[in-house]
């Protein structure tokens, strides 16, 4: 009987590398975490009922924005104190007049990327 080296570890490593590449490609193709596109979609879906969340301004503000005096997020991004760190902290804190929305870390990355892109567009 001839001893042959076990190829299982190298096959496992190869499989891990291939699956990582496939996952990274899928994520890149889907506009992954920290994505302005995902962030815009999420902000429009979750926040857009109460807040103005995109440029150019809509013909009229969202119905709830006037009723609840919800801040215009586009205008709020003009404030130099609104930084990436401030946004992350705000998104992780519950607020009495808002629904308790829980975002995953990836969703938070996306929302922050989108809101910071608004800030860049306002300069």
Range of the domain at 77: 33-122
Question: Is residue 77 assigned to a domain?
Answer: yes
Question: Is residue 81 assigned to a domain?
Answer: yes
Domain count along the chain: 1
Is the peptide bond between 29 and the residue preceding it cis, with omega within 30 degrees of 0? no
- Residue 83 CB partners (closer than 8 Å, separation 6+): none
Question: Is residue 3 assigned to a domain?
Answer: no
15: burial class by Cβ within 10 Å (0-12, 13-18, 19+)?
exposed
46: domain CATH number? 1.10.760
Task: Show the DSSP H helices in the chain as ranges.
Answer: 8-29, 36-46, 63-68, 73-76, 84-91, 105-122
Per-residue pLDDT of the chain (123 residues; tens, 9 = 90+): 555 554 444 544 444 444 444 444 344 444 445 899 999 999 999 888 888 888 765 556 666 666 667 888 888 999 999 999 999 998 888 877 788 888 999 999 999 999 999 887 765
Question: Is residue 94 assigned to a domain?
Answer: yes
Model pTM score:
0.65
């Amino acid at each position: 009987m001839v001893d042959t080296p076990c190829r299982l570890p190298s096959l496992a490593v190869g499989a891990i590398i291939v699956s990582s590449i496939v996952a990274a490609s899928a994520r890149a193709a889907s506009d992954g975490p920290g994505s302005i596109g995902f962030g815009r979609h999420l902000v429009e879906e979750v926040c857009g009922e109460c807040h103005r969340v995109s440029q150019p301004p809509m013909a009229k503000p969202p119905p709830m924005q006037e009723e609840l005096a919800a801040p215009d997020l586009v205008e709020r991004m003009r404030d130099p104190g609104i930084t990436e760190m401030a946004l992350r902290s705000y998104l992780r804190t519950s607020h009495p007049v808002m629904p308790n929305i829980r975002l995953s870390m990836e969703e938070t990355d996306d929302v922050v990327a989108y809101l910071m892109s608004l800030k860049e567009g306002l300069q």
